Amino acid sequence: MPVPGPSPAQSSLPAAAARFGTHGHGRGTDAVTGGKPALPTGPALPFGPAARPFHPVSAPAPAPVPEALPVPGEGPGGDAVAEPARATAAATATPNPALERIMRGPSGVGTEGLFFTPRQAPSAAPPEPATAPDVPAPRPAAGGRPIPGLYHHPVPEPDPARVEEVSRRIKRWAVDEVEAYPPEWEDQFDGFSVGRYMVACHPDAPTVDHLMIATRLMVAENVVDDCYCEDHGGSPVGLGGRLLLAHTALDPVHTTAEYQSEWAQSLLSDAPRRSYRSAMEYFTRAATPSQADRYRHDMARLHMGYLAEAAWAETKYVPEVSEYLAMRQFNNFRPCPTITDTVGGYELPADLHAMPAMQRVIALAGNATTISNDLYSYTKELDSPGLHLNLPVVIAAREGLSDKEAYLKAVEIHNDLMHAFEAAAAELAVSCPDPRVVRFLRGVAVWVDGNHYWHQSNTYRYSLPDFW
């Protein structure tokens, strides 16, 4: 795989770097590679040698990272965290230009982000990479309003041409290829605006094919959530068995010949399993074995979180706030930003992904975006039957606060998680300035900001409570 350049960074990481040290449904032909036929209609499995990876985009080698990067101490955080005096000095000092160059990224959508090179001076015209897609100048994001007081970073309006093409392809996949939903759900599928969502979250994707990797997985996850857990026939009763069998569409069963065909046929038995199976087949063609295994692990985490929430629903238990936050670290968005390198056409090697500091960054990103979802979906969930757990509801019940007080406290918790995410990302970028680490951190930060943009702008799904 080519060594990547940085993805288009959002404003969050440079700001954190400046603070560093101061905070203790017929079959379609939509495929990942040109001319590849659609998935077979029979139970032939999408795993194995035939699922070979593709890497259609070849990015240039990065410019060398400056050797003299400031690394406080000898590990993540070093003595900048341990010594307040030095931390205060770091906060007031002029940022190091080398760190600034690594931490900041291009403001364009999908242009300079394919290269690890410094920007030109503001007065000079930015370089035009040969492999960058031809995109229009970014427009301000439109639709909805952000939650007052919620810490977030605005993003440019996603490239409309890509949004249109991803939206067209994903609907064809969902309707014709995997039959993910019946015709009566079409308005809800359109209202989900998944094309706009994924283009906002992955502006550095080299091609629409790369964007489709993330888009199919996102739709498949939501089909499972809706049909097994919540909106469309979902129930906590018997959820474990349904989820386990669906998970085998991601992590295949290795059994005896007598039972292998029965299992393979089961993967076509309902919309969630058809969706998982197909989306995973496309993903494994693009991903390395390490990236695919990483995703399976994160999906197992997600399913474990589903089961915890279902157990509480069955027993009518309202968890403590700390228990709820622990559950939300598993039942959250983590599988989505963790594939940002696959969607970007490169790989963060397993040893770098497994670093405790990187795991902390990914966990905090997932936690912050999930609490943002709790806040934007608050009124939608209050209107649904029964008690639907979200952070404001749990705070109100467990800490005796009014609905408004609990909601505003949940906003504060979100903000604390965002600041912790940004500080941890900046710290890791300083202590481990490998270009692949820095690009991955940028990709996660861009995903966080794109995720907020989609929630804010999706007025079909979300409205804010009248607390201001």
| Residue type, position 305, single letter | G
Q: Decide: 451 and 369 in contact? Cβ < 8 Å.
A: yes
Q: Decide: 449 and 13 in contact? Cβ < 8 Å.
A: no
- pLDDT given at position 291: 98
Q: Please give the C-alpha separations between residue 111 and each of 106, 134, 440, in angstroms, as whole numbers.
A: 8, 8, 17
d(CA 106, CA 8): 5
d(CA 47, CA 41): 15
Q: Please give the C-alpha separations between residue 102 and each of 95, 368, 442, 468, in angstroms, as whole numbers.
A: 12, 24, 10, 39
Q: Which residue, among 373, 375, 376, has the nearest Cα to 462 in the 3D structure? A: 376
- pLDDT given at position 132: 36
d(CA 462, CA 382): 12
For residue 156, report the phi and psi dihedrals to the nearest 5 degrees: -65, 155
d(CA 400, CA 233): 33
d(CA 349, CA 346): 9
* Unique residue bearing structure tokens 């007065």: 123
* Unique residue bearing structure tokens 């403001």: 107
- pLDDT given at position 235: 78
Tokens, residue 110: 């999908």
- pLDDT given at position 30: 41
- pLDDT given at position 238: 87
Q: Which residue, among 348, 340, 428, has the nearest Cα to 17 in the 3D structure? A: 428
d(CA 387, CA 312): 11
Q: In sequence order, what are the residues at sequence separation of 6 or more whose Cβ sits closer than 8 angstroms to the Cβ of residue 356?
A: none
Q: Decide: 13 and 356 in contact? Cβ < 8 Å.
A: no
Alpha helices in 135-270 (DSSP H): 160-172, 186-192, 194-201, 208-224, 239-247, 257-266
What residues of the chain score a pLDDT lower than 50?
1-102, 105-141
233: left (phi over 0), alpha (psi -120 to 50) or beta: left
* Unique residue bearing structure tokens 């490998």: 434
Opening angle at CA 69, ends 66 and 72, nearest 5: 165
**Angle, to 10 degrees, between the axis of helix 271-286 and the axis of helix 239-247?**
30
- pLDDT given at position 236: 86
Q: Please give the C-alpha separations between residue 29 and each of 76, 304, 428, in angstroms, as whole numbers.
A: 47, 34, 42
178: three-class secondary structure by DSSP: coil
pTM, two decimal places = 0.74
